[in-house]
Structure 1
Amino acid sequence: MRTILYGFIHTLFVFMATLLVSGAVEAVTEPNDILVGRISFVEGKLLRYVTEDKDWVMTVQDAPFGLQDALYSGENSKAEFILPNRTWLRVGEYSQVQLLTLSDEVTAMDIASGTSRLYNKSRDVACKTTTPFGYVVAYGGSVFDLYVGDDSMEVIAIDGAVDVVAHATQEKYEVREGGPSLVVSNKVTRGNGMVDGVWDDWNEERDRLWSKRLHSNTSTSYLPEPLQDESYVLEENGRWERVYYEDDYHNMWRPTKVEPDWQPYTVGRWSLYYDDHCWIPNEPFGYLTHHYGSWVYINSFHAWYWLPPVRRVVISTPRFLPVFGWFPGRVGWIHRGHSIGWIPLAPHEVYYGHHPWGRRTVVFKRTAVPALNLSTYRYLDQAVIIPRDYFYRGNRYTPHLERNINRAVLINTYQPAVVINRTVMHNFDTDTRRFTLTDTRINRRPHNVVVDRIRNNQQFIRNTPPSNRGRITSELGQVTTGAPPMSTPPGNSPHLTGKLVPAQNATKPWSAYAAPKVYIKPQERQRSLFTRDGRNQQTIMPENRQHGQLTVPANNRSSERNITPDRADTSRPIPVSRTWSPSPSKPSPAVGSATTKPADSSQKQPKRHPAAGQQVQTGKSPQVQDNQRPTSSSASAPARHSLPESTTQPPQRSWSRQAGQPENVYQQPAEQIRRPVATSPQVQERRQTLQKPSTIRGEVRPSGNEVRQGQTSRHQMQRQQQPVQRHETVTNNQQQEMARRQQLEQQRQQQQETTRRQQLEQQRQQQQETTRRQQLEQQRQQQDMSRQQPEPQRQWEGRQPSQLQPQGRQRPHRER
């Protein structure tokens, strides 16, 4: 009976555990998470528009950047944004940015002004960027620059290709990497494709920094894929440990560059973000560890550990692992009188908020306020309590902590709160500091024309269903492709007017305010490509055909070399045609004429360039000096470069090169090979009987006298063929001689290489021997110096007093 009862209990336990695990897994796979990015870098001033307060606040690094957030950068300011769907954005000065849609497959944002560069690093995400002049669609693996001015915008493809839809023509155009840019205003034209030098340098510097951060980073294996780009902060500020927690071992991260009594949610400040209080950290690892995962306190180590989130729930421990999702700050609130506090939540505890931020979040409703019990909080002993007046001040709560408050006092005297409202802080609705992220005051704010576009975008979001990748692709496919645009006239550089004005002038008409204009690209130049190690790889310069010139990239990234089309560039070697036309002024001398001096065929002839009208039997052209380029009169010769006519023509001789020989090694002139045959009477008689010119090895020989009347006998035909056989025999012998010379040259080069290596090895061994001797000499000198110094008194242990030497006695010095 007992066995049956145990079996039933075991079966029931397994069934309940299965239901719990299946419910947890279904909760993980529900796509209802709210994605929120972060501001990873700020240089200068970056302002955020608060819709609830209808005012602007100064934002800081590691602040959130989420749905409908609108930002405006100040003068000489730059910022970088990282979104969890692997979309990156960088903006320059006077840039107005608003995030419209953020999901696993779509990033939609509005850039109304300024300079920006967008990276789409995910193959599953489609990026749509709207402007007052049109919109740009970029798919996975593409990077582009966007310059939005007062009257026009320019799109430059940095990597890959993007599609641009212009409002002026209602047509789409493709902009590809290395090609011209696209300028859109009241018409569409083709730009020069140059970027701003200062802007491009800053982006290259940021790219090298991120490449260094992500190189050899072991923390990526512990994080989900959307968070792996942020793992460098864990590598630099702590270590991973295998910790036993809730009956199982887990990989947890522990900060090492903190104070001994450090607690989470103490170095930073709270700010109201879409009705919920968001943690703004002041630590390099604060954003990742305080908005994802959970903090756990290990009593055995008396330290806090961070438990990272996971994409899938482990079946063995489904309720103790924090699943993936962004949270403003996983804490529970408590208060009493003028004190306010918060408690870090354990992984299985519920978070209460106004929006479904992540898993295990209960949306707060005023009609049904849950009853909370402080005794159920696991880390109640680690509660952070401060005076209420310091809640929205400073960037560090450590100096204001109220310590030495035990658990019993907290349970008996403090009250739990689901969210912070007027019950917790009586002046909560009127305190304007609740939206601030820093104590810095703002003296200049964007004009209301900036706010008008923000409100129009908010109205568009409310009236339009959420966008997805398929809808963006379908809308883009319905737009017709425009014709290739014309070039932009010179001098039409885009300009921009900064809209930061004093607070009292923000509501005045924009037409009455005379703001100075600045050029978006004050230092135009070619875009430079860099390798991963930061070295210059190549310089991309699109064609610039203004003033009839063609811009050619030079070695220096900041300089240009302009070449007019009607003048050849003498600094580069010009390819030479294989067939050269003969010069009409100096005809080729006849073979065997009196002007040809007899020479021995065994002697090595000097290397000469081929004369005009003679064929070079090689796949490459010989290197010809500029002052030796003959004039080409053949129709087959290229007319791209005009070659200067040489003052002295080389002798008209035919040169040939054997297969496998170097380019500068040629055979001896063919007439020298035939010279012994040409002087024989048989050859002279054969020339008189030939009717047609004979061709030997591709060379045309002049014909002799006409054939006498009558038929040629067999003996005469044999005599005619005999010189040809002798010529072929001589040619074969010379080929063998050239092959032998090549082998000897190769052997000589191999011997020289072997000798050079032996010399290098001997030098290396000599250097090692010299270094070793120097080290031995230094050690010997140090030993001599130590022997000359008096020996200090020592505490001898393990010896009898009789075995010790007297203190006044010195060790004898042994001469070497």
Structure 2
Amino acid sequence: MKTAKRSTRNVGFALGSALVLALTGCTTYVEQEPARTVYASPPPETPAAPVEPPVVVIQTENDFYEPLSPYGSWVIVGSYGRCWKPARVETGWRPYCDGHWQRTDVGWYWASNEPWGWATYHYGRWDWSVEFGWIWVPHTQWAPAWVSWRQGAGYVGWAPLPPSARIGTRGRVGVRETALAPHAFVFVSEQRLLEPVRSTTVIVNNTTVINQTVNITKVQVVNKTVINEGPRPEIIERRSGRKIEAVPVQELRRSEETEVASRQRNIPSTIDRRGPPSTRTATAPGNTIPVHEPRQVERPTEARKEPQQQPARAETRTTTRGEARQRAPRTRCGGTLRKTWAVQNTTTLGQRKRARAGAPERQI
């Protein structure tokens, strides 16, 4: 009986609560459980493409001798030893002035128009010699470009890094700013950095521009790869109005070196592929400098000058004939010689007169 009353009381309480809620206008919402999102399984990872080895393999400095010899001469320059000097270049020529700049995943890459640029702009260093002009000092470390950068006042400039530029313990390439002479830098406006570079389109020896720019060189080595940052791409994009897309440097390198490898395969087998003689041989007594074209050209020129000594032999023969004709004492003075001949001729005529005068008397 009590249980029935209790149930009736609970039902009444529930109905009363519902009536109160209805009269007050309150609504009760039942929050539903959110639908579960089912994600598809990720696709399998694509394995990274293997890094192909370079087409041209440089192991020692002698590996540059054969491919560069047709385009220049090897000379001995002070403490640098054997260096390479380009031939058949125009007056005022300088490195990194015939090609264009390309942004890559390792910084700025110099794409040269010169057939030997694959070596001299990506290996080694350039320096200026009073005797030979611009010379290239070989080295085996590859880089997109071995240059120092300056930027400011709307200009961008670069200069070849000298041989004194060394890779430090932290992977940074350090060079004293005083080691770079102002005349080594060339400048272009920031809006023209992506355009083809020619010796006639760059600014040189401009002290005003140099003083308005600052050194922004940042060359470092990461995992044995040289990175040359240079000017920031976003600044060049804004100035030039052109979008810059970084190209994988390995594509540019393989494209350039493939052509070099094809030229080397066509070299006749008669060429000595062992490389140049050592520096000791070049500096040994006798001045035997290896493959120095200017001195090789001078030797036959001196040999052709030997016939000029013939006039001296001709003069000796003339003197001998004169002495044979002269029966008087050997007197080279013109006046004495003529006087001697006059005396001889006078004496001969007198003797003839006396002979003719005395001839008739003898006949009588």
TM-score (norm 2): 0.45
Of structures 1 and 2, the one scoring higher in RCO (CA 8 A, sep 6+) is 2
TM-score (norm 1): 0.21
Q: Which has the larger radius of gyration?
A: 2
